[in-house]
Structure 1
Amino acid sequence: MKTEYIDSKLLRKMFIFAAKSLEKNKKTVDALNVFPVPDGDTGTNMSLTMQSAVKQIKNLDSDDIAQIASAASKGSLMGARGNSGVILSQLFRGFAKGLNDVKKIDTKAIAKAFKSASDTAYKAVMKPTEGTILTVARECAEKASELSEHETDIKVFLETVIDYGETVLNKTPDMLEVLKQAGVVDAGGKGLIFILKGAYLGLVSEDDSVIEDLDHAEEPANLSDAHEQEDIKFGYCTEFIINTTNGNADEFRNQISGYGDSILVVGGDDIIKVHIHTNEPGEVINKAMALGELIDIKIDNMRYQHKNRILEEETVTENEEENIKEYSFIAVAMGDGIKNVFKDLNIDYVIAGGQTMNPSTEDILNAINEVKGRNVIILPNNSNIILAATQAKELSDKNVEVIPAKTIPQGISAMLAFDEELDINENVDNMTKAISSVKTGQITFAVRDTVINDVEINKDDIIGLNDGDIVTVGNNIKDVAIDLVKELVDEDNYLITIIYGEDISEGEANELAEEIENEAEDCDVEVVYGGQPLYYYIISVE
């Protein structure tokens, strides 16, 4: 049967099927990581972002097509994880713009929305790279525009667009040499194809019953590592979203400012997201209900939670907590030792995350809200978190700066360059320059067979990375680490810091340090416990 229009009910169904398709196939996407390191998480990040979009849709009590698309945009924006998740959220944002004021979706409307999605995503990336999800999205949009001139059957239309998208995806290795050498297609592009295929299945499926929730899906870890207080002034952590057409985020923030602290009010596209610590959650909710429908209401008794948790650090007094500082710092890190290093460097808030576990835009926004500085400086310490941090910066009403640190040593170097006597612009400049003064080596293991830079790598091989590039391969952790240091160190270097992970003993780390001292006689060698997973060693060379 020919299908010429998609109504609101069918659009909801297609979004849910799309999320289920990606969730089912996320490990396939994860496995397409170019480098065979154990942190390929493109599929997981896209799936978690997609689930956040669908959650917003399921909580929306509306049959308006534009509002459903907008809900997907808002959900994906707040739930975006990693670069792939941020790009996906921008695709949904553009898709929603393209469906604004649309009552029934035909092939021309889909083509317009696809074009808007592609344009929005390209604009969000500073230096777009062809051979990625962006290319697949753009080519699909162009094919959709061409088809919409004569094809009115949406089933045939989408089948053709998806087939063409797969053809483009299979050509991505010809566009990016790293994909060709690794023998894989682009992971983000593959994830997008799974989304489109899922949406198509939602279109053609005759099962119109209520689709089960994605309760079986992998839930993101609790990434917050906020400072806890024994004396909690405002006891209820209250969060909700207001669906409103006449609300103003700034005005509502002013209305509830006297009811508590840690207030985050972010608005846009007929939605206001609210977070507040208060003793009167009912009063706050009553004020919110005057603006519109409330969804995703969550109220936690922090005093009760606190009594059942073990304090990890000395309590900060209430007066000290309330004092506004000139600067606050947020870092993303994994491993107890690394977290302690950052706390020793005066980091106010450590978000647990990094390899394989990228915090969402909302996680970073919550961290921004928790700290008390007039200026907030974020150290992502991972290239896959920088976009989400930048997106959180844009959503926050605080003065936020993101230092583009891609590794733990870069983040540490940036903090050492900070000078509280300087203004924010001078500090950002100095901290950004400092990250280029340190070289980062990492020792981990290969998760699959591949070829990188003409080097054959087998699953479970030990591999050494120099600022992200695989430069050494072997079967022994210590031998690969020594070879890596030889690649990293030159005559200008004076300090080598070995940060050992959870799978390495202190004795093994010290033994490695001794051998490195013999190899690099002009350098001091320090050993630091990091406790990081997956990476046996992180090596800093200055």
Structure 2
Amino acid sequence: MSQTLDAAAVRSWCSLALDALGREREEIDAINVYPVADGDTGTNLYLTVESAAQAVEAVFAAHATGTTEPAPADAVRAMAHGALIGARGNSGTILAQLLRGMAQVLAPPAPGDGDHAARLAPALRRAAELARAAVAHPVEGTILTVASAAADAAEAAGADGRKAGGTRTDGTRTDVAATVRAAYAGARAALDATPDQLAVLGRAGVVDAGGRGLLAVLGALVRALTGEVPAVPPAGHRRPEEPAAPGPGSGPGAERDGGPAFEVIYLLEAGDAAVTRLRERLDALGDSLVVVGGDGLWNVHVHVDDAGAAVEAGVEAGRPYRIRITHFGATAEHPPEQVQRAVVAVVPGEGLAGLCAEAGATTVLARPGEPPASGELVEAIRRAHAREVVLLPNDAALRHTAAAAAEQARTEGVRVALIPTRAAVQGIAALAVHQPDRRFDEDVVAMTTAAGATRYAELAVAERQSWTMAGICQAGDVLGLIEGDVAVIGADLAATAEAVLTRMLAAGGELVTLVLGEDVPDGDALADRLERYVREGHLAVDTVVYRGGRQSVPLLVGVE
């Protein structure tokens, strides 16, 4: 518990919010009827906050060897950035913008005694304003209304405190406890009124799902700053004055009838002017348009009939990535037919995502420096809609994350086998022998054996001088890592790759797999040279080359 918004309080807030949304996710999903009754608002908010919490934990990990905790500004910026890159769905995207608005007020150096409490109400006001501006056509009775009410109540509490003319015994200019309590109370009152503001909520007899999720986040803030646990209202209820059965044209699917067929979400690197033009184009293509972010990085969310046109608009505006397209026909209302078995694979680049998808796998894209969270893996397992799932993390660092996702999926009735693949090339080898028509255990054994028989390496570029298993490297040196350890240090990518192949093939092999990143200069020439090198030295060894797209290292190598 903290009486000020220091870094520890921000960390606690994220953790408590994640716990709260984890407990209430299914209830919030169940009352999701607006703007589309796709039953995923609670899940989307959970995934958004999980990404924010991970970003804050990364800041603390970077200070693990120091004697002081991170600066409050670093923590709140990390929280906002993490939410932005991990935002899911309509409500998750708006929540990311709310956190961004708070960070804009809380991150700059605090005047005077450095207390952040006096800026809590202005931060909530900025959050509400920024979120409302990000929505193309704001609607009352939604998360936007709840956010504005929280800001109103926080400002009123601050004004009452100033009229009282007193200060706290600890010297704090504003009573942070009173402010957060007021914000929570105002948000709850506004949430209770949402069925009277939005007809679809009134017909269904529920409160707004996004607003309910925001209340959980604000409740976590109350607990982080005061130690108090606010009373949790029911996620949804049928009000006594409402009829027991919905009227004609109402019900969970009413808002979807005649609406756009796809939800499109992507991160976008683009300038402000390009984003302004993008908003206009997407607004003409569909609805539920929310564009959040700034400083060159944006999260775009829209519902459209032409998903390709929405992505193409992003390409014209800048560089879209982490593109997610969901067909509303495949929601909890109308789930696809469940299959017996599926494979879920984490992949480091778009090229391998396409390759694995062609092999029948559901993929989770791991961007450089942005490993997927356990919630993303659970969501992918759900999206696979299978009774049995083989999970390929394809990264040693994801071992615990994948294990947590597998355990969660098992509690939902899915039989999950986690194959501890430590590199993408091991995942490719496992997929190559996957046979969904044989017994599950036999398939898992065959895939595990193929992955285990694949030695892996990667070529990376050193960012700074450091000690390695192969000696001292300088910034800019090419490092050849075999099974995670630096084995070769060179100045040239091709020559270093040849040295790595020599070492790996010394133990034998039948197939070499090369995965080239998109930033490799003259990748075709490099691939030809390495294929020739393998053929000349090992006549019985075949070589296959894949284009991995944007990945964290220039070259991945596998030897089977």
Give the aligned residue type for 1:197: E
Post-superposition CA distance 1:26-70 (Å, at most 9, x none): xxxxxxxxxxxxxxxxxxxxxxxx77427559999xxxxxxxxxx
Partner-residue secondary structure (3-state), 1:513: helix
| Contact 1:224-1:352 at 8 Å conserved across structures | no
The answer on 1:533 being equivalent to 2:551 is yes
Post-superposition CA distance 1:94-114 (Å, at most 9, x none): xxxxxxxxxxxxxxxxxxxxx
| Counterpart position of 1:218 | 81
| Contact 1:224-1:367 at 8 Å conserved across structures | no
Cα 1:370–1:364 change in 2 (3 A) is same
Pairwise CA distance, 1:529: 1.5
| Counterpart position of 1:31 | none
For residues 91 and 83 of structure 2, what CA distance do their matches in structure 1 show? 20
Give the aligned residue type for 1:427: D
| Contact 1:18-1:196 at 8 Å conserved across structures | no
The answer on 1:462 being equivalent to 2:462 is no
Cα 1:284–1:372 change in 2 (3 A) is farther
The answer on 1:53 being equivalent to 2:15 is yes
Percent same amino acid among aligned pairs?
17
- Give matches, 1:62-461, under 5 Å: 191-192=63-64, 197-198=69-70, 213-214=76-77, 217-219=80-82, 222=85, 283=204, 285-286=206-207, 294-295=215-216, 302=262, 304=286, 305-307=303-305, 309-310=307-308, 322-347=336-361, 349-353=362-366, 355-396=368-409, 397-399=412-414, 400-453=416-469, 455-461=471-477
For residues 371 and 516 of structure 2, what CA distance do their matches in structure 1 show? 21
Cα 1:287–1:59 change in 2 (3 A) is closer
Pairwise CA distance, 1:341: 1.2
For residues 339 and 381 of structure 2, what CA distance do their matches in structure 1 show? 13
| Contact 1:18-1:197 at 8 Å conserved across structures | no
Pairwise CA distance, 1:449: 0.7
Give the aligned residue type for 1:327: R
Post-superposition CA distance 1:316-335 (Å, at most 9, x none): 99699611100122211132
Pairwise CA distance, 1:429: 2.7
| Contact 1:463-1:480 at 8 Å conserved across structures | yes
Partner-residue secondary structure (3-state), 1:387: helix
Give the aligned residue type for 2:436: E
| Contact 1:224-1:351 at 8 Å conserved across structures | no
Post-superposition CA distance 1:129-178 (Å, at most 9, x none): xxxxxxxxxxxxxxxxxxxxxxxxxxxxxxxxxxxxxxxxxxxxxxxxxx
For residues 357 and 21 of structure 2, what CA distance do their matches in structure 1 show? 39
- Give matches, 1:435-514, under 5 Å: 435-453=451-469, 455-490=471-506, 492-504=508-520, 505-514=523-532
| Contact 1:331-1:351 at 8 Å conserved across structures | yes
| Contact 1:501-1:533 at 8 Å conserved across structures | yes
| Counterpart position of 2:128 | none
Partner-residue secondary structure (3-state), 1:384: helix
Cα RMSD (Å) of the superposition? 4.8
Cα 1:217–1:323 change in 2 (3 A) is closer
Pairwise CA distance, 1:377: 2.1
Cα 1:354–1:9 change in 2 (3 A) is closer
Post-superposition CA distance 1:457-490 (Å, at most 9, x none): 1111001111111111111010000000001113
Partner-residue secondary structure (3-state), 1:447: coil
Pairwise CA distance, 1:285: 4.4
Structure 1 length-normalised TM? 0.51
For residues 52 and 223 of structure 1, what CA distance do their matches in structure 2 show? 14
Post-superposition CA distance 1:469-525 (Å, at most 9, x none): 111111101000000000111363111122111122223322332223223232112
| Contact 1:440-1:466 at 8 Å conserved across structures | yes
| Contact 2:513-2:543 at 8 Å conserved across structures | yes
For residues 343 and 356 of structure 2, what CA distance do their matches in structure 1 show? 10
Partner-residue secondary structure (3-state), 2:343: strand
Pairwise CA distance, 1:220: 5.6
Partner-residue secondary structure (3-state), 2:82: coil
Give the aligned residue type for 1:330: V
Work out the number of aligned pairs and report it: 334
Runs of 4+ in 1 over 6 A off after TM superposition: 57-60, 75-78, 86-89, 236-241, 279-282, 311-317
Post-superposition CA distance 1:332-391 (Å, at most 9, x none): 1132211111012111x2211054211112222222222211112221111112211211
Partner-residue secondary structure (3-state), 1:443: strand
For residues 382 and 366 of structure 1, what CA distance do their matches in structure 2 show? 18
Partner-residue secondary structure (3-state), 1:357: coil
Cα 1:87–1:361 change in 2 (3 A) is farther
Give the aligned residue type for 2:380: A
| Contact 1:380-1:405 at 8 Å conserved across structures | yes
Post-superposition CA distance 1:401-432 (Å, at most 9, x none): 32211101111111223222333233223322
For residues 296 and 384 of structure 1, what CA distance do their matches in structure 2 show? 29
Which structure 1 segments of 5+ residues have no match? Answer: 1-7, 20-49, 61-74, 90-186, 203-209, 226-235, 242-278
Give the aligned residue type for 2:364: I
Give the aligned residue type for 2:461: F
Partner-residue secondary structure (3-state), 1:381: coil
Partner-residue secondary structure (3-state), 2:364: strand
| Contact 1:53-1:76 at 8 Å conserved across structures | no
Cα 1:370–1:388 change in 2 (3 A) is same
For residues 195 and 410 of structure 1, what CA distance do their matches in structure 2 show? 40
For residues 510 and 191 of structure 1, what CA distance do their matches in structure 2 show? 44
Cα 1:237–1:393 change in 2 (3 A) is farther
Cα 1:408–1:371 change in 2 (3 A) is same
Structure 2 length-normalised TM? 0.50
Pairwise CA distance, 1:306: 3.3
Cα 1:501–1:395 change in 2 (3 A) is same
Cα 1:284–1:214 change in 2 (3 A) is farther
Partner-residue secondary structure (3-state), 2:472: strand
